[in-house]
């Protein structure tokens, strides 16, 4: 499983980089950059921006790496025995204890006219 763990670490690095690049981009004020500004997502100037290209490259790498991880996991997964070491076991209930001979202590409550100061 060495290659799988390596790919997981690379996937985490790419995901963190993608989040960082997205958060560093300037907001355009509208959904998908359609806020009416000439430097939006659909213009030539906005699409050629370095951050936009870097986002596209990182997103493509993330998707390709996700697909490769799925193939590696399916190939190396195989069948494994289910771990039953933490399985619950039924314990029979203990017999009920006889009623205690001493009565339960009675709590003293403040009269309705007094307000407790600690609240």
Q: Three-state SS for 12?
A: helix
Task: Give pLDDT, residue 47.
Answer: 47
pLDDT in tens, 8-65: 999 999 999 999 998 888 776 555 545 555 555 555 455 448 888 899 999 999 999 9
DSSP per-residue string spanning 37-48: -TTSTTSHHHHT
Give residue 45's region: left, alpha or beta (phi > 0; psi -120 to 50).
Answer: alpha
Q: Three-state SS for 51?
A: helix
Q: What is the distance between the alpha carbons of residues 110 and 77, in angstroms, rounded to a whole number?
A: 66
What are the structure tokens assigned to 69, written together? 């991880």
């Amino acid at each position: 499983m060495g290659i799988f763990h390596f790919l997981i670490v690379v996937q985490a690095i790419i995901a963190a980089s993608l989040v960082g690049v997205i958060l560093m981009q300037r907001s355009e004020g509208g959904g998908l950059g359609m806020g009416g500004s000439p430097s939006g997502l659909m213009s030539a100037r906005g699409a050629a921006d370095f951050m936009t290209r870097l986002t596209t490259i990182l997103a493509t790498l993330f998707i390709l790496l996700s697909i490769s991880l799925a193939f590696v996991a399916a190939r190396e997964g195989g069948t494994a025995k289910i771990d039953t070491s933490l399985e619950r076991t039924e314990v029979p209930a203990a017999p009920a204890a006889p009623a205690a001979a001493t009565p339960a202590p009675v709590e003293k409550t403040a009269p309705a006219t007094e307000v407790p100061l600690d609240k």
